Structure 1
Amino acid sequence: MDDLSTITWRQDGGVGWVTLARPDRYNAFDQVMCDELSALWRHLRTDDSVRAVVLGAEGAKAFCTGIDRDFVPSEGGAEYTFSPYTYDDPGKLLGPKSNELWKPVIAAVDGIACGGAFYLLGEVDFIIATEASRFFDPHVTYGMPAVYEPLLMLHRDMPLGEILRMTLLGNHERMTAARAREIGLVSEVVADAAALEDAAGWAAAAIASAPPAAIQATLRSLWAGRELSRQQALDLGGTFLALGMSEEALAEGQKVFEGERIIPRER
């Protein structure tokens, strides 16, 4: 992870910080960013020193504005074909879940998040945003169907009507951070970038303090519950419980129970 050019990485204890680093392009993704993010998510699957991740972006103008208009695929420089039989979605492996990373990822959004940004926001576990953040999907305004991005957002807590409104209005309306919190897209709104780093770092550190097997089994259970029927998810419950339960994790939890009392935040 020393030769990254479109993202940066740092680690503080059990928390990893991934930052989109193309502010001159409003953190739009190109093939290099796709490859670097996918490789990083896959690396983190087996890096036991990282227990939770914060995903942010450089610059105050944009978290991510989707695909770079100068995007060039890596396979021989050939243009993508739009045949339904051969089309490869360029954002397919941008997100952590698409790369089978089942460690918590918190998005820290500051500025514009639009279009292909939802490949990332659709696969994080929760979102914290600054008051200045704005969310929208401009695809249809520019004559492009909005397909993958709104489909990913269906798995968040946004009402269907809000997803349809944001998608169909395209570039004509931007959702404020306050409205995003009202409808469940964002879990917390903070004043500015400094408060954003504090809030995301606090949440990630709190998660990282718990036994990782219990966290990952819980995470996998809840995402499965969103995609399966109620009974199918409950039937898998025993498997996830067994995967996340261990004598080591219980002993670690017992130390927390017997130790200094945790003073919880209120939100």
Structure 2
Amino acid sequence: MSTYETLKYEEHGPVAWVTLQRPEVHNAFDLTMMQELHSCWRELRDNDDVRVVVLTGSGDEAFCTGLDRDAAHVGAPGLLNDIGQRGATPFHHNEPDDLLPPKTAADLWKPVIAAVNGMACGGAFYLLGEAEFIIAADHATFFDPHTTFGMAAVMEPMMMLQRMPIGEIMRLSLMGSHERMTAQRAYEVGLVQEIVPAERLHEAAQRAAEIIASQPPLAVQATVRAIWYAQELGYRQALDVGRTLVMLGTDQESLAEGQRAFRSGRRIGWRPR
């Protein structure tokens, strides 16, 4: 894997940890971070040693606070000129979703678990919107400041609507900086799947990632793709595609091994959630 200026990349067996590494600005992204994340997602597609990815932010104050507003002011090199309208009409436009989301921007279908360790707001939703599931520290908060600063909240709530009820994302988007969704409320509405004390966030994310990584990657990735198809397509269309995914995502050797394990009487120790 490449070395990065704005990311910390680590591999722990089959689990890769990608840490947003700009704590001085609450892990807000500049053009370099966007480009490096895109490069990281693309390289992870080719790295067969990695089966699951955990995405988090450095420090304990913020996961990510979206676009670095200081990097976007007039005269800042790169970012302002790269995002927004291209050419004379509004029909050619660059957005952070060209680079940030692991699926839309990079076609990565290995599971991505988000470990949210503080504030997550605005452009952070480009990342959370395409994670498989979210584990949050108990002090995490979620909000979208776009409207407060005179900007339309568009792409981010569209992506987050895939994982939370319309009334919740509508309120979160329209209340701007005046209200923050707590980790507990995010859990209640289904945005977050597990809440843990901050000191246990790494442990909880690593545990989930290791369990998923212990299972055949073909079956895991086909499952990820199938569920996202079901979100993106009509019901009947998704079922039609699903027939193909069943065949593509079932490895006969792995299936036989699973059958042998079942017949042997070995049972997996489980715990409730």
Give the unaligned 5+ runs of structure 2: none
Q: Is the 8 A contact 1:31 1:73 kept in 2?
A: no
Give 1:3 shift: 2.3
Partner of 1:56: 56
Question: What SS is found at the alignment partner of 1:245?
Answer: coil
1:94-146: CA deviation from partner (whole Å, max 9, x where unpaired):
01112110011000001100000000000000000011000000000000000
Give the unaligned 5+ runs of structure 1: none
TM-score, normalised with respect to structure 2: 0.92
Q: Following the alignment from structure 1 to structure 2, what is the Cα–Cα distance between the partners of residues 48 and 81?
A: 35
249-258 vs 144-153, greater mean Cα deviation: 249-258
Give 1:26 shift: 0.5
Question: Closer, same or farther in 2 for the Cα pair 1:22/1:155, shift >3 Å?
Answer: same
Q: Is the 8 A contact 2:84 2:95 kept in 1?
A: no
Question: What SS is found at the alignment partner of 1:231?
Answer: helix
Question: Closer, same or farther in 2 for the Cα pair 1:90/1:242, shift >3 Å?
Answer: same
Partner of 2:40: 40
Partner of 2:253: 248
Q: Following the alignment from structure 2 to structure 1, what is the Cα–Cα distance between the partners of residues 22 and 265?
A: 44
Give 1:81 shift: 4.3
Percent identity over the alignment is 54
Q: Following the alignment from structure 1 to structure 2, what is the Cα–Cα distance between the partners of residues 58 and 84?
A: 36
Give 1:206 shift: 0.4
Give 1:255 shift: 5.3
Q: Is the 8 A contact 1:118 1:149 kept in 2?
A: yes
Question: What SS is found at the alignment partner of 2:53?
Answer: strand
Q: Residue type matched to 1:17 in 2?
A: W
RMSD: 1.7
Equivalent residue in structure 2 for 1:139, among 143, 146, 152: 146
Partner of 1:234: 239
TM-score, normalised with respect to structure 1: 0.94
Partner of 1:15: 15
Q: Following the alignment from structure 1 to structure 2, what is the Cα–Cα distance between the partners of residues 265 and 73?
A: 51
Question: Closer, same or farther in 2 for the Cα pair 1:255/1:227, shift >3 Å?
Answer: same
Question: What SS is found at the alignment partner of 2:134?
Answer: strand
Q: Which runs of 4+ in 1 moved over 3 A?
A: 71-75, 77-83, 254-260
